[in-house]
Amino acid sequence: MLTLGIALLGGVLFLLCYVSLRIALELFSARWSRTKRLRAHQDRRTDEAWRRSRFGRPYEHVADLMAAAGWRLRPDAFAMLMAAMALGGAAVGLLLFQSARSALLLSAVMGVLPYSLLRMRLISRQLAARLYFLPAIELFYQCYLVTGSRHVRTALQKMVEERQLPGEAQAIFEALYRNLCVQGDDERSLRTFALAVGHAWADYYVSMMKVALSEGNNIGDNLKELIDDMRKARMDDQAERHRLLEIRLANFSPVGFLGLFLGINFRLNPEGSYRYYVLDPSGRGMLLNALVLLFGSFLMGLYLSRRKM
C-alpha cells in the first residue's frame, strides 16, 4: 500500500509539473507573439518615418541593398555600425600613429568598410545567381505551364517547393515568393529580386511579373522568348564572368604582394624590420599609406565589377 501511495503521489506531482510547464510555455509563447507583432508594427512605422524624412532616399537605398544581399540588419542600425567603426578607426589612428591625418584616414577606411562589405556580398550573390538564372527561369516556365498559366504566385510556389536550384538561386527565389506573399508591396519585392540577380535578364523577368501580377495576363510566350534569348547570349555571359574573375583576382593581388614583401623583410632581418615597421613612426606611416592604397584598390575593384555587371 505504501508503495502504491508513493506511486500515485509521484504521478500527481508529475501531472502538476507537466500542466504548470505547459501553461507557462503557452503564456510565454503568447507574450512573445504579441511582442513580435508589436515590434514588427513599430519597425514598419519607423521605416515609413525614415522614408518620409530627408534621409529617405539613402535609407531606402541601403534597405534595398541589404534585402538583396540577404542581410537582416536594419538600415538605421547599419548606419550606427558605420559611425561606430569610424569612431573606432579614429581612436586607433590617434593611439597608434598619434596624428590627425592618420586618425582621419583610418576613420574614413573603417567607416566605409561595412558598406564595401555589403557591396562585395551583393556582387558575390549576383555572380552565383547569374550562373543558374537560366535554369531557374526554365524551371519557372515549366511550373507556370503545369499550373495552367493562371497565376504566377502559384507557379513560383511550386518552383520553390521543388527545391531543384542550388544555394543562392534557391534563396533568391524563396525570398521573392515570401515577399510577394507577406510584404504586400509587389513593386519593392520585384525591385529587390532584380537587384539580387543584377542582370538585364532579371529586369525583363521582373517587367513580365509586374504585368502578370497587376493585370493577370498570360506571360507564357514572353517567358519562352526570354529563355530563347538567354540561351543565345550564354556565350557572352560566360565571357563577362571571366572578365569579372580577372577583376577580382587583380583586386586582391596587391594584398598578397604586400604580405610577401613584409614576410621576406621579417624573415631576413627580424629585429630591424620590427624596429622600423612597428617602433618607428615613419615605418608605421608607410604601412598606413599602404593600407589606404589597398583599400582604394578594393573600392576600384568593386566599382569595376559593378560596371561589368
User: Looking at the structure, do residues 105 and 170 belong to the same domain, yes or no?
Assistant: no
d(CA 189, CA 182): 10
User: Looking at the structure, do residues 145 and 116 belong to the same domain, yes or no?
Assistant: no
User: Looking at the structure, do residues 178 and 90 belong to the same domain, yes or no?
Assistant: no
Nine cell digits for residue 40: 514588427
Type of residue found at 223: L
What local confidence, expressed as pLDDT, does residue 216 receive?
77
- Residue 122 lies inside a defined structural domain of this protein: yes
Q: What is the phi/psi pair of residue 73, to 5°?
A: -80, 145
pTM more than 0.85 = no
- Residue 136 lies inside a defined structural domain of this protein: yes
Using DSSP's 3-state secondary structure scheme, residue 74 falls into: coil
Type of residue found at 91: A
- Residue 18 lies inside a defined structural domain of this protein: no
Domain, as residue range, for 271 = 237-308
What local confidence, expressed as pLDDT, does residue 238 receive?
63
3-state helix, strand, coil in the chain (%, to 5): 90, 0, 10
User: Looking at the structure, do residues 158 and 225 belong to the same domain, yes or no?
Assistant: yes
- Residue 142 lies inside a defined structural domain of this protein: yes
User: Looking at the structure, do residues 179 and 218 belong to the same domain, yes or no?
Assistant: yes
What local confidence, expressed as pLDDT, does residue 45 receive?
55
- Residue 164 lies inside a defined structural domain of this protein: yes
Nearest one of 190, 193, 304 to 248, comparing CA atoms: 304
d(CA 307, CA 309): 5
User: Looking at the structure, do residues 137 and 228 belong to the same domain, yes or no?
Assistant: yes
User: Looking at the structure, do residues 300 and 251 belong to the same domain, yes or no?
Assistant: yes
What local confidence, expressed as pLDDT, does residue 215 receive?
81
| Residues with Cβ within 8 Å of residue 157, at least 6 apart in sequence | 177
Q: Indicate the number of domains in the chain.
A: 3
What local confidence, expressed as pLDDT, does residue 5 receive?
40
- Residue 244 lies inside a defined structural domain of this protein: yes
User: Looking at the structure, do residues 83 and 105 belong to the same domain, yes or no?
Assistant: yes
User: Looking at the structure, do residues 138 and 198 belong to the same domain, yes or no?
Assistant: yes
- Residue 1 lies inside a defined structural domain of this protein: no
What local confidence, expressed as pLDDT, does residue 240 receive?
63
User: Looking at the structure, do residues 162 and 220 belong to the same domain, yes or no?
Assistant: yes
Per-residue pLDDT of the chain (309 residues; tens, 9 = 90+): 445 444 444 444 454 454 445 544 555 554 544 544 444 445 455 555 555 555 667 888 888 888 888 888 888 888 888 889 898 888 888 887 778 888 888 889 989 999 999 988 888 888 888 878 888 899 999 888 888 777 888 888 888 888 888 777 888 888 888 888 876 678 888 888 998 888 888 889 999 888 888 887 888 888 888 888 888 777 666 666 666 666 667 667 777 787 888 888 888 888 888 887 777 777 888 888 888 888 888 888 777 766 655
- Residue 208 lies inside a defined structural domain of this protein: yes
